[in-house]
Amino acid sequence: MRTDYDSIAERYKRAKLQPWRNCIETFTLLDLIGNLSGQAVVDVACGEAFYTRRLRAQGAARVLGLDLSERMVELAREQEAEQPLGIDYRVGDGKNLSLPSEFDLAVAAYFLNYAADQHELEAMCAGISACLRPGGAS
C-alpha cells in the first residue's frame, strides 16, 4: 500500500538525526517508558525504526515494529540487516490492528494524530488495547 510517507521516508529518517530529537524527544519518551527489561514491545507506526531500535537497545526482550508505509518498513529492515537486533517488522494498518494479546507495552509515537475522526481514534485505541497482556501498558 502506498502512503504519504513512502516519498519522504529517507528525508524523515534524516530529520530524526537533528540534535533536539535526541536531547528532548528521545530523552522524554525513553524516560517516560522506563525499564523495558524482558518486555515484549510493539511499536505501532514505527516509521523507519528510530525508536523501535532504541526500545530493543533499552532491554526489551522482543520488539515488533509495524507501519503503514512500505518504504518506511523497508528502511527499518535495511537497518536490521546492517546491524541485526532481532526486531521483526511488518507493514500494517494501525487503524485495523489484529495482533495477539501478548505485548507488555505498546508504543505509538506520532500515531494517534492520524485519526481522521472519533471513530478512527477509537479503533486505534481498541487495537492497541487488544494487543496488550493483562496489566500491559501503552
Ligand X SMILES: C[S@@+](CC[C@H](N)C(=O)[O-])C[C@H]1O[C@@H](n2cnc3c(N)ncnc32)[C@H](O)[C@@H]1O
Q: Which three cell numbers stand for residue 3?
A: 502512503
Could you tell me the smallest distance in angstroms from the CB atom of residue 81 to ligand X?
19
> What does the binding site for ligand X look like in residue numbers (CB under 6 A)?
3, 5, 16, 45-47, 50-51, 67-69, 72, 93-95, 109-111, 114
Residue nearest to ligand X (CB): 47
Residues 6+ apart with CB under 8 A from 100: 131
Nearer to ligand X, 3 or 138 (CB): 3
Could you tell me the smallest distance in angstroms from the CB atom of residue 33 to ligand X?
13
- 107 three-state secondary structure: strand
Nearer to ligand X, 98 or 134 (CB): 98
First to last CA, the chain: 26
